[in-house]
Amino acid sequence: MLDGMTHALFRTAMAPRTLPRSAGPATGPRLGWHGAVTVLAGLWLASAAVTGEAAEDRHLGQEHGCMACHGMVRKQVGPGFAQIAERYRNDPEAPARLAGKIRNGSVGTWGRVIMPRQARITEPEARALALWVLSQPALPP
């Protein structure tokens, strides 16, 4: 099943021309069948790459035991990843700040819960985990 954006792109690419070719760029580019397939394949590969990165970062969190204290959505011992993402969603400094909290630990940010220091996690891993946490979707109502 095609999502809305992909469906609209496909429909536009396959639509017959309604204006003569001399009408210029106002008619928009027509990709034809091969072009539409190429665009759809590119979108599919891009989404697969992003999904692969997200799965790799989630695996990194599982490997380092993050899921023992954090739920995907709601609090277990510490806040859920979706709760963290919601709090820092519009903060441009959040990736670096969260990476520092992952490596160095934190206390008082979410009440009296202590986030222990994670010295085994390298700086690049902490940054990848922080970006993955911030990429979580908004909290369900």
pLDDT in tens, 38-89: 555 444 444 444 444 556 666 777 787 888 888 888 898 999 999 999 999 9
Closest CA to 43 of 71, 69, 8, 82: 8
Q: Tell me the pTM.
A: 0.58
Q: What percent of the chain has pLDDT over 90?
A: 36
Q: What is the pLDDT of residues 27-47, one digit of tens each?
A: 555 556 555 555 554 444 444
CATH code linked to domain 67-141:
1.10.760.10
Residue 49 in contact with residue 59, Cβ under 8 Å? no
Q: Provide the residue ranges of all domains of the chain, joining segments of one domain with +.
A: 1-17+27-63, 67-141
> Element (H or E) spanning 114, and its range?
strand 111-115
First to last CA, the chain: 26
